Structure 1
Amino acid sequence: MGSTDYEFQTVWRVAGTPEEVAAILGEATAMPRWWPSVYLAAEPVAGAAPEPRPGIPRPVHLHTKGWLPYTLRWTLTVTEPVTSRGFTLSAAGDLNGTGRWTFEPDGPETVITYDWRVGAAKPLLRRLSWLLKPGFAANHRWAMARGQESLALELRRRRAAAGIPPGNPRAVPAPPPPTFTWWPGRQIRAAAQRNR
């Protein structure tokens, strides 16, 4: 593995069914709303078919960040249909590689495993990877921890809206916001405001 290559495996456990989890994680355009600490913007690729194959949503251009004050622009393409067992994706842009979400039911919860194998293409990451690779890995772990927290909140919000259990979806706390919204200026602030 080269100095600009990264391999991560993240395991989450959330209260919800694999079907509920797949419905949320399989809709990349909604991620800035429920996972705003990481997903600043998500736009479908212009000209792409709405659903090229059953269970395959159109590719999405993403603007993302972690805890550290830099952002990434990349395109997420689902390469294997979104099902209650999981799906695969590819990344192209500032990050290039593949990801695989796997969903396993465990009583009233779902165990989610995410395998992420990417290479850094953004010049900043490529130049500093040899020195700051542990920091970049910690940044990824921070982002994924916010993802688990945000997904659990979104599941609670959707269940409350459906009356399972009866409750008010507005009583569910907001997801964690992005860090360093002042950096690199208006771009992150504007993206964060759009997705509230």
Structure 2
Amino acid sequence: MDWTHYRFRSLWPLPAPPATVYGVLERPEEYPRWWRQVREVERRGDGTGLIRIRSLLPYDMTFTAREVRRDPGAGVLEIAMSGDIEGWARWTVAPVGAGCLARYDQVVDVNKPLLRRFAVPGRPVFRANHWLMMRAGRRGLLAYLDGRPQAV
């Protein structure tokens, strides 16, 4: 088993139309407004950007994101990532009842030296850290969609 390889899936049931949620998710430069763990997004043009994230644990992860797929009709946004993490991430937004389901899939290898060094004993903590970040992201998006002020 490669202890630095991770697969994640998060499901966010949301009470908003798919097009509305997709419209928010396709603007990553605005993520820091509603997702406090996304600390910085710097657009670099040509479908790339630099992203810095930090959840509960006291370390930042920085990576370059390159747009791979943007398909509003299918509700799909996908990026390739390189830097502290290497791999891909994909949002898929689909209608469910009066709202939608935003599904987040991510497959990455960790390159950050500190995380590689503690890969075996830290794995459960790193997975929990990711889970907390995703939970906070859903809550932030719900508040943002509801028009409530965000804590930054």
TM-score, normalized by the shorter chain, greater than 0.5: yes
Q: Could you say which residue in structure 2 is the equivalent of 1:22?
A: 22
* Runs (4+) off by over 3 Å: none
After superposition, give the CA deviation of every residue in 1:172-196 in whole Å (9 maximum; x if it has no partner).
Answer: 2424x5xxxxxxxxxxxxxxxxxxx
Distance of 1:82 and 1:124 partners within structure 2: 36
CA contact (8 A) 1:26 1:82 kept: no
Q: Give the 3-state SS of the residue equivalent to 2:146 in structure 1.
A: helix
Q: Could you say which residue in structure 2 is the equivalent of 1:80?
A: 69
Q: Could you say which residue in structure 1 is the equivalent of 2:137?
A: 147
Q: Could you say which residue in structure 2 is the equivalent of 1:8?
A: 8
Q: Give the 3-state SS of the residue equivalent to 1:113 in structure 2.
A: strand
Distance of 2:54 and 2:125 partners within structure 1: 14
Matched, 1:109 2:99: yes
Q: Give the 3-state SS of the residue equivalent to 1:101 in structure 2.
A: strand
Long gaps (5+) in structure 2: none
Distance of 1:20 and 1:92 partners within structure 2: 29
Task: Using the TM superposition, give the Cα deviation of residue 104 of structure 1 relative to its aligned residue in structure 2, in angstroms.
Answer: 1.2
- How many residues in Structure 1 have an aligned counterpart in Structure 2? 151
Superposition RMSD in Å: 1.3
CA contact (8 A) 1:16 1:109 kept: yes
Long gaps (5+) in structure 1: 50-57, 158-171, 178-196
Percent of residue pairs identical: 29
Q: Could you say which residue in structure 2 is the equivalent of 1:65?
A: 54
After superposition, give the CA deviation of every residue in 1:128-187 in whole Å (9 maximum; x if it has no partner).
Answer: 111100000000000000010011111111xxxxxxxxxxxxxx2424x5xxxxxxxxxx
Aligned-partner residue type, residue 62 of structure 2: R
Structure with the higher fraction of residues in strand conformation: 2
After superposition, give the CA deviation of every residue in 1:70-93 in whole Å (9 maximum; x if it has no partner).
Answer: 111111112011415122111111
Looking at CA atoms only, which structure, 1 or 2, has the larger radius of gyration?
A: 1
Q: Could you say which residue in structure 2 is the equivalent of 1:174?
A: 150
Distance of 1:151 and 1:60 partners within structure 2: 21
Q: 2:123 aligns with which of 128, 133, 141?
A: 133
CA contact (8 A) 1:77 1:91 kept: yes
Q: Could you say which residue in structure 2 is the equivalent of 1:185?
A: none
After superposition, give the CA deviation of every residue in 1:83-125 in whole Å (9 maximum; x if it has no partner).
Answer: 1512211111101101111111112211111111011000011
Distance of 1:145 and 1:82 partners within structure 2: 25
Q: Could you say which residue in structure 2 is the equivalent of 1:41?
A: 40
Aligned-partner residue type, residue 43 of structure 2: P
Give the alignment's TM-score, normalised by structure 1: 0.73
Give the alignment's TM-score, normalised by structure 2: 0.93
Q: Give the 3-state SS of the residue equivalent to 1:9 in structure 2.
A: strand
Distance of 2:87 and 2:122 partners within structure 1: 20
